[in-house]
Chain A
Amino acid sequence: MAAPMEAYLLLSAALFCVGLFGVLTRRNALMFLISVELMLNAANINLVAFSLYHGNLTGQTFALFVIALAAAEVAIGLGIIMVLNRQYDDVDVTRAATMRW
C-alpha cells in the first residue's frame, strides 16, 4: 500500500472543506453548485479508497451511483438557476431573499 489510509481521509476531508468554503463564500449560484460537487467528490474519495482497503467493491459501486446522481442533481440545479436568472436577471444566490423571518 503506497500511502497510509489516513492520507486519503485527510485528502477527502480537505476537499470537503474546500467545497464547504466555496459554498459559504461564493454568491454565484453556479459556483455554489460546483462547490457542492467538490464536496460530493470528497465523499467519493473515501468510498473508493476504502473500498480498496476493505477489499470489497461496495464503495466503488456506490461511487458510480453517486456520480450519476450528481449529474442528475446538476441537471435540476441548472434548470432552477436558469429560471432564477430569468426572474432576477442574475445568478447571485443572495438576491433571492424576499421571503424571510
Chain B
Amino acid sequence: MTYQLAPWTAIAPMLVLVITAMVLYIVDSIYPEREHPQLLSGISVAGTVTAMAIAIWYLAAGTGQHGGEIVLFWDQLVVDGMALFFTVIFTAVASLVIVASYDYVRAQPHQGEYYSLLLLATTGMALMASANSLVMVFIALELASLPSYALVSYLKRNRGSVEAGLKYFLLGALSSTIFLYGISLVYVETGVLQLTAIAGTVGEIENVAILGFGVVLLILGFAFKTASVPFHFWAPEAYEGAPTPISAFISSASKAAGFVIAFRVLIEAFPYEVLLELGIDWVLMIQVIAVATMLLGNFAAAVQENVKRMLAYSSIGHAGYALIGLAALTNPGGTNDLVLAAAMMHLLVYGFMNTGAFLFVALGEHWGVGRTFEDYNGLATQAPIACVAVTVVLLSLAGLPVGGGFLSKYVLFMGAVSAGFWWLAAVGAVVSALSLFYYARLLKAIWIESPPSTRVVDEYPVGLYTAIVLAALLTVVLLPAFFAVAETAQIAAVDLFA
C-alpha cells in the first residue's frame, strides 16, 4: 500500500537547494545586464520553501526516524530526525531572509550571486546536518562558510561590510585550520573518519593526549561556528557589519549548523562514557564554554549602545543557552535525550526569534533611523505592526511567554536541572534576567519614548514586513504548538543516542 521512495530521495531538500542555486546562476546569466529582484528572490524563496516543505513532510512521515536513519554514499551522509529537523531550521530562516532581502538588496548589483550564495550556504548547512563523517563535516562546513564570507562583505563599498567580511574570513580560515588539525589528530589516533567508526575504535587508542588535543580542537572549531567563547570574537563585528539579513542568516542558521555538527560529532563519534574513561571529559569543557559564553554574551550585550551589536552579543548569549544541550549530558544519561532535545527546540525557535529581531534592524536601516537605541525612540507610533512583531520576538528571546522562546528556554533550564546541573540553569537564569533588561531597552525606546520630529516613515517595504511579521507569527504559534517541535526534537534526540 505505502509507496516507498528510493533512499536517495532522502536528500531531496539538499538537492532542491543546490538546484535552485544553479537555476539562479542560469537565470542571472540570461539577463547579465539587468537585475530582476522579483524573479530572483521568487525563485530563491520557492527553492527554500520547497526544501523546507519536503523536510517537514519527511519529519511528519517519520522518514529516517525511530531508529530507521537512512545512510547514503557509503555512510558519508545520514538522513535522520536530527538532519531533517535542522534542515527545517536552515530553510525556514533562509526563506525569511530571502523574503526580507528583496527590499534590502533591491538597489544593489549582483543580486543573482547574492541569492545563489545564500542558497549554497544553506545547502552547506543542510549537508552539515547530514554529514556522517569528519570528511563530510569539513567539506560541508566549508561549503557553508565560504559563501557566508562573501555574503558578509557583499556591500563592498561599505567599510563596515568589508571589515566584517575580513574579520569573519580571517578568523574563519584560522578556525577551520584548527578544526582540520583536530580532525587530523583524531585520524592519527583512530585511523578512521566515519563517525560511528571512530566511536568503534576510540576506546582502543594508544595516545590519549593526541586524541584529547584533537577533541579540544574540534570543539573549538564548533565554538567558532556557533560563535561561542573563546572563538566568538568574529561574531559581534561580522553581525554588526554584514548586510542585516545576512547577519540574521549567520546568527540564526549558521549557528544552528554549528550546533548540529557539534551534536552529531560529539555524541556519535566520541561517546561520553568512553571518553570519560580515557580522561577526556568533553562535557566539562563544554560546560566551561557554555558558562563563559552565557556570561560574556549577555553581560556585553547589556551595555551596548548599538542595537545591532546588542543583538549580536545576545546571539552569543543564546549560543551559551543552547550549549547547555551538550553541557548537561551525563553518564549514565537518564535524561540525555531531553537535554539534547531541549537545545534543538531552542535552536529552532531561536531561529525565528533572532531572525525577526535582526530583520527589524534591517527595517530600521531601510528607514534610516540610525543605529543606537535612542534612534528607535517612539517608532511604535509610526510603525505599530512591525513594532508589535519585534516586541513579540524580543520578549520571546528574553524568555517571556509570548512565544515559543519561553518554553524552549525553560525546557533547556529544565534539562539542566534534570541532569543535576542546577548551577548551569542558575547561571542561565541570571543572564536571562539580564537579557530581559537589554531587550527591554529596545522596547522602551520603541514604545515608551516619544518619537523625534525629524524622522519620517512613509514607506512600508513589503518583503521586510512580511518576513518580520511571519517570524513573529511563527514565534507566537510555536507557543501553543510547541508540542510538535518538542516531540519531533525528542524523537531525533533519542535516535541520536541510540
Contact = CB atoms under 8 A, between A and B. Distances in A.
Do chains A and B make direct contact within the complex (CB under 8 angstroms)?
Answer: yes
Contacts of B156: 83, 86-87
B103 interface: no
A36 B170 CA distance: 9
A12, A16, A80, A87 interface centre (most CB from chain B within 10 Å): A80
B188 interface: yes
B131 to A, nearest CB: 13
Contacts of A58: 135, 187, 191-193
Contacts of A66: 138, 180
Interface in B214-233: none
13 contacts: A9-B210, A16-B181, A19-B177, A23-B174, A33-B170, A33-B173, A46-B188, A50-B187, A50-B191, A58-B193, A76-B150, A77-B169, A99-B240
A62 interface: yes
A50 B166 contact: no
Contact of A96 (B134, B167, B184, B187): B167
Interface in B104-154: 134-135, 138-139, 142, 146, 149-150, 153
Nearest to B300: A101
Nearest to A63: B184
A21 B423 CA distance: 38
A52 B134 CA distance: 18
A56 interface: yes
Interface in A13-59: 16, 19, 23, 29, 32-33, 36, 39-40, 42-47, 50-51, 53-56, 58-59
Nearest to A53: B191
B138 A29 contact: no
Contact of B177 (A43, A51, A59, A80): A43
A11 interface: no
Interface of B: 134-135, 138-139, 142, 146, 149-150, 153, 156-157, 159-160, 162-167, 169-170, 173-174, 176-178, 180-181, 183-185, 187-188, 191-193, 210, 236-237, 240-241, 309
A54 B159 contact: no
Contacts of B160: 98-99
B121 to A, nearest CB: 12
Contacts of B146: 72-73, 76
A36 B173 contact: yes
A83 B165 contact: yes
A51 B164 CA distance: 38
Given A43-B183, A65-B135, A99-B163, A56 B170 contact: no
Contacts of A80: 149-150, 153, 162, 165-166, 169
B36 to A, nearest CB: 24
Contacts of B210: 9
B139 A56 contact: no
A54 B412 CA distance: 41
Contacts of B240: 99
A71 B138 CA distance: 14
A97 B146 CA distance: 22
Given A42-B181, A87-B159, A93-B170, A50 B188 contact: yes
Contacts of A77: 149, 169-170, 173
B142 A72 contact: yes
Nearest 8 A/B pairs, CB to CB: A54-B191, A46-B184, A96-B163, A39-B177, A43-B184, A43-B180, A83-B156, A43-B181
Given A72-B142, A84-B166, A96-B167, A9 B188 contact: yes
B144 to A, nearest CB: 12
A76 B180 contact: no
A12 B187 CA distance: 13
Contacts of A45: 184
A96 B52 CA distance: 38
B296 to A, nearest CB: 13
B138 A96 contact: no
Given A76-B149, A99-B241, A47 B164 contact: no
A46 B187 contact: yes
A87 B159 CA distance: 6
Given A84-B162, A99-B236, A76 B188 contact: no
Interface in A63-101: 65-66, 69, 72-73, 76-77, 79-81, 83-84, 86-88, 93, 96-100
A1 to B, nearest CB: 15
Given A72-B146, A99-B241, A36 B177 contact: yes
B171 to A, nearest CB: 10
A39 B173 CA distance: 10
A57 B35 CA distance: 47
A48 B164 CA distance: 35
Contacts of B183: 43, 62
Given A79-B153, A87-B162, A96-B166, 6 more contacts: A54-B187, A76-B150, A77-B173, A84-B162, A87-B163, A99-B237
A51 B309 CA distance: 45
A9 B213 CA distance: 12
Given A62-B193, A77-B169, A96-B163, A69 B142 contact: yes
Nearest to A54: B191
A80 B332 CA distance: 48
A79 B169 CA distance: 11
A33 B428 CA distance: 38
B143 to A, nearest CB: 9
A45 B184 CA distance: 9
Contacts of A73: 142, 146, 173, 176
